[in-house]
Amino acid sequence: MSISQKELDDLKHKAEVSSQNYERLQKANERIQVLEEGLLPDDVPSEDGKVKQLEDDLADVKGRLAKAEIIETHPQLKDLWQEFQDFRTKDDNKGMNLKTAAKAFLVEKELLTPARKGLEKPTGGKPSPTSTGMSAEDVKILRESNFKKYREMLAKGQLKVE
């Protein structure tokens, strides 16, 4: 019983493939055993670790973006950033929105004073008559002696009748 060279090469190839498959199976079994025991070697990254790392990275990027946005809106916070962070950690300010906390911090430090206009200036109506410096007695004499001038001054609003 003699085996041809072709058959011999075919058998060697099958044996090699079989041994490679056996090695893969052994590695997979070892990994399953390690995962079941909860002992992860350094070369096997944890899926939970990857997710946690990605979440941390995302939170870091969001924090930097929010900081840049706040500093762009309120540039005076750039020099006071650490003090602002301390302000946010106080019990009264925990959980406050970042923008709201920034406004509250600036108002508390009196760095942000809102421009208040107050009451509007009156725009309509008759102006109050200018004082003529005449007493009621003088106005009475003018009315009785020079009625024409009295009417002119009264029409122009120059007389203030007391």
Instruction: Please choose, from the candidates 122, 102, 121, the residue with its C-alpha nearest in 3D space to the C-alpha of residue 111.
Output: 102
DSSP codes, 95-158: T--HHHHHHHHHHHTT--------SPPP-SSPPPPPP-S--HHHHHHHHHH-HHHHHHHHHHT-
Count CB-CB contacts under 10 A for residue 40.
14
Instruction: Please choose, from the candidates 49, 44, 18, the residue with its C-alpha nearest in 3D space to the C-alpha of residue 31.
Output: 44
Q: pLDDT for 20-74, tens place per residue?
A: 878 888 888 888 888 877 755 555 456 777 888 888 888 888 888 888 888 888 8
Q: What is the pLDDT of residue 42?
A: 54
The answer to whether 105 touches 84, Cβ cutoff 8 Å, is: yes
Q: pLDDT for 96-127, tens place per residue?
A: 888 888 888 888 887 776 666 777 777 777 76
- Max CA separation in the chain (angstroms): 161
The span from the CA of 61 to the CA of 55, in Å, is 10
